[in-house]
């Protein structure tokens, strides 16, 4: 069963910190921009005392899971910030390492763009109040646009262009804007400072907006093939360690840039030189994306092989993920293919029908049967040509009943062709055809199958009447209780047994009295209890189901007590 992983404490704290960070521009009305650095420094120093108190209280103890083959060993320890450090041990997984590097670069670029823009705005602002007001309006506009894009476009964009191209949107847009600034400065002697400032401001708005609306959701999707423990670790590494160091690195770069470049006096910051520096970082950003894509595919293959429980944010509609799923369904072993089909079945969209059909090409019988069952359940009409081809292929005789059931359900309009299977001398083929036609919903199909079913109920042959009870049970139609009432009175034990089992599947209140009467016969006692047992009714049982089950179990208990006393 695929379950969404629980949100960790770290995820919630990261979300809370993001909320607080976004309120900072509003506070600039009350705390001047020049004093903001002192305020932030105070909170940074305070965090060290809080961290020390948490460490003393034992709240920073961690549980590390070491996996050796099939054995799992749990060890408890306390984080040692000053102990031995190894990058391979720290990142554990290559995908986590590449995602961390990418996050580091993105934070650096966004910070440098904002730095350059704010310096120029401050240079052109006459008062601190004007600067604070501008920053507040600027942030409000950026967050509003990010919210609208995330609500309207993010999911559609990811589904349409895939993870890799979603990650490439931001660097391509930024490199176009900054590249225009650089080219314009080289070709034009009268470069307008105002137009350059507006373009840089556009880059600042877009970088913040795209990070919130595109980059962060895609990051979350990229982490889904990891195991639950590694998924949580990746959040901890990226949000808790790498991002803060990226901010420190950005500060150092900004300081060195101001110190070693010209244009820091009355002329303001050298935007052209800063644009060139950021373009270099963007090129590295693009290269890292391609490394991440390759590692993502390898991690996804490994996750399917080990049958990890994927997070609900895993995007299985992008081309690379689909290609991995196709390969696993076609050529993977039984466990891999079944696990993949299970994921696709739970998250099915029309774009994934190709993966379901690929299961028919697997060499494993169980995988083929599961694929046929999924095709039947999802009513994939585009599977009809392939199923007809398999029906005419003698190498698929071992699954012919499954194929017949599927084709009859998918093509109820072809009653004449289906009727051949309905009247077949092979009882299994006839059974499959009747179930398929009765489940199809076609009026003509139901009439043809219903007539044959009535004929089977009244058949003089025991095996045919037994099969009729099996068909009614497999259909699980609540209104089909009258034929079962008739079969419950059959003289043959095997027919009555199958009819009782069918009662537990169709769950009709008019069958309770008859089942209770049969319970008095010792040869039907266990069958009656099994018919209304936990496996049949517990999951979706109604009040009548509960009454029936408890009544039978109570009678059995009294019967056992009587036997003991006797």
Average pLDDT, the chain: 75
Cα end-to-end distance, the chain, whole Å: 48
**Which residue shows structure tokens 């009454």?**
547
Q: How far apart are CA 6 and CA 506, in angstroms?
A: 37
Task: List all residues 6 or more positions away from 327 whose beta carbon is below 8 Å from its beta carbon.
Answer: none
Please tell me what DSSP assigns to residue 126.
S
Q: What is the pLDDT of residue 461?
A: 92
Instruction: Measure the CA dihedral 193/194/200/206, to 10°.
Output: -170
CA-based nearest residue to 352, from 299, 315, 389, 387? 315
Q: Report helix, strand or coil for 72.
A: strand
Least Cα distance to 317 among 361, 339, 348 occurs for: 348
According to the model, what pLDDT value does residue 302 have? 77
- Phi, psi (deg, nearest 5) at residue 343: -65, -45
The 8 Å CB, 24+ separation contacts for 551-560 are 551/512, 551/516, 552/515, 552/516, 552/519, 552/528, 553/529, 555/516, 555/519, 556/519, 556/525, 556/529, 559/525
Q: What are phi and psi of 32, to 5 degrees?
A: -65, 155
Tokens 């034929």 -> residue: 483
Highest mean pLDDT among 111-115, 218-222, 228-232, 505-509 belongs to 111-115
pLDDT in the model for residue 54: 67
Kindly report the length of the chain: 566
Quote the pLDDT of residue 564: 39
Q: Which of 25-39, 114-128, 384-398, 407-421 has the lowest mean pLDDT?
A: 25-39
pLDDT reported for residue 417 = 85
CB contact at 8 A, 96 and 234:
yes
Residue range 390-397: mean pLDDT, rounded: 88
How would residue 404 be classed by pLDDT, with cut points 50, 70 and 90?
very high
Cβ-proximal residues to 330 (8 Å cutoff; 6+ apart), any chain: 337, 358, 359, 361, 362
Determine the pLDDT at residue 471. 92
pLDDT at 382 over 80: yes
335 pLDDT higher than 90: no
Tracing tokens 């002329």 back to the chain, one arrives at: 267
**In the structure, what pLDDT confidence band is assigned to residue 7 with cuts at 50, 70 and 90?**
very low
What is the tens place of the pLDDT at every residue in 58-100?
Answer: 655 544 444 443 433 433 344 444 344 456 666 777 888 888 8
- Backbone dihedral angles phi then psi of residue 80, each to the nearest 5 degrees: -115, 100
Q: DSSP letters of 422-469?
A: HT-SSHHHHHHHHHHHHHH--HHHHHHHHHHHHHHHT-S-HHHHHHHH
Q: What are the CA-CA distances from residue 177 to residues 16, 125, 209, 227, 541 (Å)? A: 32, 24, 15, 39, 62
Q: Which of 248-252, 258-262, 282-286 has the lowest mean pLDDT?
A: 258-262
pLDDT of residue 472 exceeding 80: yes
When mean pLDDT is compared across 8-17, 23-32, 448-457, 520-529, the lowest value belongs to: 8-17
497's tokens: 């047994």
Q: What is the pLDDT of residue 529?
A: 77
**Residue 28 pLDDT greater than 80, yes or no:** no
Hey, how many other C-beta atoms are within 10 angstroms of the C-beta on 526? 12
Cα separations (Å) of 314 from 91, 94, 102, 301? 21, 18, 19, 13
Query: Whole-angstrom Cα distance, residue 475 to residue 422?
Result: 16
């Amino acid at each position: 069963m695929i379950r969404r992983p629980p949100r960790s404490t770290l995820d919630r704290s990261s979300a809370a910190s993001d909320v607080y960070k976004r309120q900072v521009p509003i506070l600039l009305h009350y705390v001047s921009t020049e004093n903001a650095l002192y305020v932030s420094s105070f909170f940074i120093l305070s965090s060290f005392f809080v961290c020390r108190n948490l460490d003393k209280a034992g709240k920073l103890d961690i549980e590390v899971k070491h996996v050796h083959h099939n054995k799992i060993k749990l060890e408890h320890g306390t984080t040692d910030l000053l102990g031995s450090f190894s990058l391979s041990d720290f990142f554990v997984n290559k995908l986590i390492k590449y995602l961390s590097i990418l996050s580091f670069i993105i934070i650096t670029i966004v910070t440098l763009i904002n730095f350059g823009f704010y310096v120029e705005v401050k240079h052109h602002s006459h008062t601190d109040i004007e600067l604070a007001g501008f920053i507040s309006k600027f942030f409000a506009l950026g967050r509003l646009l990010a919210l609208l894009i995330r609500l309207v476009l993010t999911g559609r964009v990811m589904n349409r262009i895939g993870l890799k191209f979603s990650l490439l949107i931001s660097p391509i847009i930024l490199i176009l804007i900054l590249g225009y600034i650089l080219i314009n400065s080289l070709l034009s002697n009268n470069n307008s400072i105002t137009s350059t400032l507006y373009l840089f401001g556009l880059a600042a708005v877009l970088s913040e907006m795209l990070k919130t609306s595109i980059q962060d959701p895609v990051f979350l999707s990229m982490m889904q093939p990891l195991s639950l423990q590694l998924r949580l670790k990746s959040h901890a590494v990226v949000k808790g360690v790498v991002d803060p160091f990226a901010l420190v690195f950005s500060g150092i770069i900004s300081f060195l840039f101001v110190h070693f470049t010209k244009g820091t006096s009355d002329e303001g910051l050298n935007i052209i030189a800063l644009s060139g520096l950021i373009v270099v970082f963007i090129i590295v950003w693009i290269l890292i994306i391609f490394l991440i894509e390759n590692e993502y595919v390898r991690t996804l293959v490994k996750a399917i092989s080990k049958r990890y429980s994927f997070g609900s944010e895993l995007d299985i509609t992008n081309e690379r993920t689909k290609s991995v799923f196709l390969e696993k369904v076609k050529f993977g072993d039984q466990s891999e293919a079944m696990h993949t089909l299970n994921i696709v079945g739970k998250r099915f969209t029309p774009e994934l029908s190709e993966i379901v059909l690929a299961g028919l090409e697997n060499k494993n019988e169980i995988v083929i049967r599961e694929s046929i069952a999924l095709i039947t359940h999802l009513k994939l009409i585009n599977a009809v040509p392939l199923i007809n081809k398999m029906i005419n292929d003698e190498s698929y005789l071992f699954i012919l009943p499954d194929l017949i059931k599927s084709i009859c359900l998918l093509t109820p309009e072809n009653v004449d062709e289906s009727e051949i299977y309905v009247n077949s001398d092979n009882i299994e083929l006839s059974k499959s055809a009747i179930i398929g036609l009765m489940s199809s919903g076609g009026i003509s199909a139901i009439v043809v199958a219903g007539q044959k079913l009535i004929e089977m109920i009244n058949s003089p042959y025991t095996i045919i009447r037994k099969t009729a009870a099996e068909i009614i049970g497999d259909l699980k139609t609540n209104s089909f209780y009258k034929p079962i009432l008739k079969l419950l009175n059959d003289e043959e034990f095997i027919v009555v047994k199958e009819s009782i089992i069918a009662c537990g599947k169709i769950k009709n209140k008019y069958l309770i009295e008859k089942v209770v009467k049969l319970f008095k016969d010792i040869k039907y006692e266990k069958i009656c209890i099994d018919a209304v047992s936990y496996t049949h009714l517990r999951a979706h049982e109604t009040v009548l189901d509960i009454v029936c089950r408890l009544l039978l179990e109570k009678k059995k208990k009294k019967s056992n007590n009587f036997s003991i006393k006797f």
